[in-house]
Amino acid sequence: MTDNLWTELERHQPKPLVELFASDDNRVDNMTIEQSGLRFDLSKTHLDEAALASFSKLSQNMQIDAAKTALFSGAVINVTEGRAAEHPAERGNGDADAVAHARALQDRMRSLVEAIDAGFMGDIRHILHIGIGGSALGPKLLIDALGRDSARYDVKVVSNIDGAALTEAVKGMDPHKTIVAVASKTFTTTETLLNATSAMEWMTDGGVADPYAQFVALTAYPEKAIEWGIDESRILPFNEAVGGRYSLWCSIGFPVALGLGWAVYQELLEGASAMDRHFRNAPVMENAPMMAAFADLYYAQTKACQTRAVFAYDERLRLLPDYLQQLEMESNGKSVTAGGAPLGRNSAPVTWGGVGTDAQHAVFQLLHQGTHLIPVEFIASKTPGHDFDTAHHETLLVNCFAQGAALMAGQSSDDPARNYVGNRPSTTILLDDVTASTVGALIAFYEHRTFVNAVLLGINPFDQFGVELGKQIAKRISDNGAIGFDPSTTALIEAALGDV
C-alpha cells in the first residue's frame, strides 16, 4: 500500500508552477500557513491536490498520528538507542514527569544565571562556550541572531579542534572575568575536552588562581563532568533523552539564558512550544511542518533532487543553514529504516545554503540555469534588524521575492545562453520579526518537519551511528600511528605526523 502511494507520487505529472496559479485563484491562500508570527508560503511548489492527497494517505499509512503521540508522550521512539526523544518536554509539551523534570533542571539553571548576575562568580564580562555539533550550533545561532545589540555579556562559541578557533575566541577576553561553559551531552567529545583543557591553561597562564571555579558544565552525564574536575554546584544537567541536535532547549542553552537574559530564553521556549502545539493539533493541510515535509519528500523522492538550498535573507539568521545541516543531515542521512531494513529510497537530501543577497552573486547562476533541480527556501523578516536607511531592508526583501518569482516564471529567449527555463520551486518563510519567540517557533518547525520526513521514510531520526567510525579510526591513528592502513592514509600520516 505504501509502495503504491510512492508509485502514485512518482507518476504524478505536475503542472508547471505558473499554470498551478493560473488554474487556482486561491492557491496562495490554500498553500500559505500563518503561525506564531511566521508565514509559510508553499505555493511555489509543485504540490497540487493529487500530490497532497497521496501524501496525506501516505502519512496515515505511516501512522503519523501515532508517531506524534509517541513523540509527545515520551515513548521510546529512538529505538536503536532505546530512548525517548524528549526535546518537546523541555518546552512544556510531553509526558508529565519529563516536563516536571525539565522544569526543575531549568529552575536550577535560572538560579545559576541569577547568582552569576549577582556576582557569585566574580565580576564576569565574558562567556566562552565550548561545545561542538548540537552542543554549539544552537547557542551560536541564537547569540548571533538575537544578541547583536542586547547581549548582557560578551559571548563567544568555540567548537573546532583547530587551536586557531580558540585563539580567536579568547582574543579580547579577560580570563579573570570569563566563565567557561563546557557543553557536551556525553562529556567525552575529544574536541570539546581538549578545548576545555586549553581554556583552563589560558586561564592559568592569565594568572587566575582557581580556574576550575570559573568553569560550568552543561551535560547529561554530570558524573563525567565531576570526574573532569567541575564542582557539582556548577553543573547543569539535562535529560539524556534530549538528543544533541535537539538540545538547545535544555541547559545547552545556558549561554543564551545568561547572555541574553532569562526572559529572552523563556520567550524562545514559548515560541517553540506554540509550534509544538500547532504541529500536534493542526489538520494536515494547515500544518506547516507536515506540508513542508511533503514538499521535501516530493522533490527528494519523486524528482530525485539531491540537494535543498536554504537562503537567509536576513543577516541575523546567517547561521541558520549551518544549524539545519546538522539537524536535517544527521537526523535523516541514513540508508536503513528504524527496523534495520534497507531504506530502498533516497535519504535526506544535502542541505546547503547561505545568506541573501550575497549568495545571488555567487551561486544563484546554477539555481537559475544549471541542470540540477534544486528546491530553494527563502527566509526573511518583515522588520529590519538595524537603524540604517530603510532602503537596505526594502532592497533586501525586493531581492528575496524577485528570486522566487524569477525561479518560477523564468524567461524565454532565442539566445540559449540567455534563456531561463523557469518552473523551479521555492518556499518562503516570512517572519514578522527576528525575535526569541519567532526564532524558537522557526527552529521547532524545522525539528518537526525533519521528524515528519523521517516518519514517512521509516527512518529513526534520533541516532547518528554514521559519525562513529571516523572517531574510532582517528583514535586508532592517535594510539598506534600509521599501522594497518591503506597506502594513501599511511603516506599521509607519515608525511604530516611522523610518529604520532
Set of cell numbers at residue 147: 544578541
Exactly one of 37, 74, 88, 133 binds ligand F6P (CB under 6 A); that residue is 133
Q: Does 190 bind ligand F6P (CB under 6 A)?
A: no
x/- mask, ligand F6P, residues 320-359, rule CB under 6 A, reads: ----------x-----------------------------
Q: CA-CA distance, 384 to 267, in Å (whole number)? A: 20
CB of 252 to ligand F6P, least distance (A): 8
- Please report, in angstroms and rounded to a whole number, the separation of the first and last CA atoms in the chain: 56
Set of cell numbers at residue 222: 554530570
Task: Considering only residues 217 through 256, tell me which ones interact with ligand F6P, judged by CB under 6 A.
Answer: 244-245
Catalytic one of 330, 334, 393, 448: 330
Q: Does 129 bind ligand F6P (CB under 6 A)?
A: no
Residue appearing with cell numbers 560550568: 216
Handedness of CA 329, 428, 298, 309 (dihedral sign): negative
Q: Does 44 bind ligand F6P (CB under 6 A)?
A: no
Backbone angles phi, psi at 361, to 5 degrees: -95, 10
CB of 404 to ligand F6P, least distance (A): 32
Catalytic one of 372, 382, 392, 471: 471
Q: CA-CA distance, 340 to 116, in Å (whole number)? A: 47
Q: Does 473 bind ligand F6P (CB under 6 A)?
A: no
Q: Which residues contact 58 (CB under 8 A, 6 or more apart)?
A: 2, 5, 6, 9, 456
Query: Which residue, 44 or 185, has its beta carbon nearer to ligand F6P?
Result: 185
Exactly one of 54, 59, 106, 192 binds ligand F6P (CB under 6 A); that residue is 192
Residue 361 is among the residues annotated as catalytic for this protein: yes
Count of helices and strands (H, E) across the chain:
21, 11
Exactly one of 47, 121, 132, 348 binds ligand F6P (CB under 6 A); that residue is 132
Task: Considering only residues 167 through 186, tell me which ones interact with ligand F6P, judged by CB under 6 A.
Answer: 184-186
CA angle 72–253–381, rounded 5-degree value = 85
- Greatest distance between any 2 Cα atoms in the chain: 75
Helices (H), 160-287: 163-170, 190-205, 222-228, 254-260, 262-281
Query: Which residue, 42 or 327, has its beta carbon nearer to ligand F6P?
Result: 327
Q: CA-CA distance, 447 to 465, in Å (whole number)? A: 19
CB of 243 to ligand F6P, least distance (A): 7
Exactly one of 54, 178, 302, 464 binds ligand F6P (CB under 6 A); that residue is 464
Virtual torsion, Cα 317, 247, 376, 354, nearest 10 deg: 40
CB of 392 to ligand F6P, least distance (A): 35
Q: Which residues contact ligand F6P by CB under 6 A?
A: 132-135, 184-186, 189, 192, 244-245, 330, 464, 467
Residues annotated catalytic, as ranges: 330, 361, 471
